[in-house]
Chain A
């Protein structure tokens, strides 16, 4: 079971790397032209292609691409000349801590709201929760981020709004507003998912049996129902972590935070082709990693899956 999942993940990584390769080299849009601009001379373009190994046949580029990833040699930035692996190492922790903080906010808000909304179906609490969940889908995360920035950062001046901070205390104070933004979006999704999963489970026969036995309602909800309802919540969670991760790109831009998203956006803005490729690579690997972890968690939560071949 676990071995097949690992093989699956390796195959996915391979396909994802192919996708990045295709996106960067094969699709129309010459990287040399996009890096140097439309007015570059043919000599400049040829020089660029030679420097980045774009002048050799595609299959050689393909092999070179995989070798350089395997050896973690992602090249150097066209703008700063810094090795890209170094830039990523500096920026990665900021993205990870933001995602982690947002995930905690999303879980702590979303699951209880979902439970409340399902157990009091049709009440005003339920309606409020559902409106908030709908808003979470319709309000773009970067607009929510801008609103939070205006209200809590600029008008009330409660938290710093620029950069990532250094030192533990500063880093925590810098993460509050971005994590709140992404966490709220995540909470909207989580509460919606928890609600529908719990409602589904509460309809089952074993819940009726438990109630008929005289089990206390709270015990029924948490012990019998929520545990089973969590299975779809966890799988859905994977999708929302990834949604949030792609949202973090815009959030990092709003709060001027360092992070992989900033690396990508700055790379795009400054036509720094190796940086863009590295940024895309990190996000693509994130996707594979999160999906793999979710599959494993799935097995942990649902004992039935452990016994299947």
Chain B
């Protein structure tokens, strides 16, 4: 007992729990990990599509049209003799590119508009609030269709259309969170210390409202992928011959009696991808925003 050090009792340590990052808890849940693994796989598939795909997705082959699965074409060919597997692999590119850029664009714009409205209030806030209420009443797919129909097809137009459809969701969250932060004493302190509104918004408001906004953004990735597929299916999204999961299904409809594989493969790809983003989105929501947990 010569060198006896006074150790703090264990209870005292437990009473002051070390705070684990909410991001770490994501890796504890097997469902979330499955979702993350699937997302990584889909991203790899999109990035390395050229290496992974056994054939050129655009190359037609008149000798092998509308074939079922075989050792040469694992998922068969479409009515132009193009390899379905290669097309489905390449089809991940527009889906993922759009699934990430559209919520990102909507997030950046929506946060800026919502923060300005929530911080300054007044008639600008009322107009913005009213407009986003009206837009919120529309299903995002319908707004996407409206804008895409007006702009015409093409990737940039598609991003704009879907981002616009998501915009009111971000404005609403950013606006409400900013209004809550605006009432905090440290904002008054910042104003009193002579900081300008832009500086206050960027340095004091934005870091405090980014949590819920990240949640909204991740939750809308799955929806963005679904809308991209729907719009491409309707002929408003990715234009043939470039493959996307939506237009592979549309193309496959005409020859469904001969071979259902294009429809099945592309449909399953969309479903699994949306499911994966949905699982991870829900988990991020639970981790960052435990109050909304079901």
Give the interface of A toward B (CB within 8 A): 12, 15-16, 19-20, 23-24, 27-29, 34, 134-135, 137-143, 146-147, 149-150, 154, 196, 239, 242-243, 245-247, 249-250, 253-254, 264-265, 268-269, 276, 280, 283-284, 287-288, 291
Contacts and interface: CB of A to CB of B under 8 A. Distances in A.
Contact of B137 (A12, A23, A138, A268): A12
B234 A268 contact: yes
A23 B150 contact: yes
Contacts of B246: 142
Nearest to B236: A268
Contacts of B253: 146, 254
A200 to B, nearest CB: 10
Nearest to A261: B234
Given A138-B274, A146-B256, A146-B267, A268 B235 contact: yes
B220 interface: no
Interface stretch (B20-28, B73-81, B191-199, B225-233): B225-233
B139 A239 contact: yes
Interface in B226-264: 226, 229-230, 233-236, 246, 249-250, 252-253, 256-257, 260, 263-264
Contacts of B266: 143
A251 B235 CA distance: 14
Interface residues of B, dominant DSSP:
helix
B146 A146 contact: no
Q: Kindly state the interface size class of chain B when it binds its partner.
A: 35 or more
Contacts of B222: 138
Nearest to A280: B146
Contacts of A147: 263-264, 267
Contacts of B135: 19
Given A27-B151, A287-B142, 9 more contacts: A29-B151, A138-B222, A138-B271, A140-B267, A143-B249, A147-B264, A246-B141, A253-B233, A265-B235
B146 A20 contact: yes
A264 B145 contact: yes
B152 A246 contact: no
A137 B278 contact: yes
B120 interface: no
Contacts of A254: 253
Contact of B233 (A142, A196, A264, A284): A142
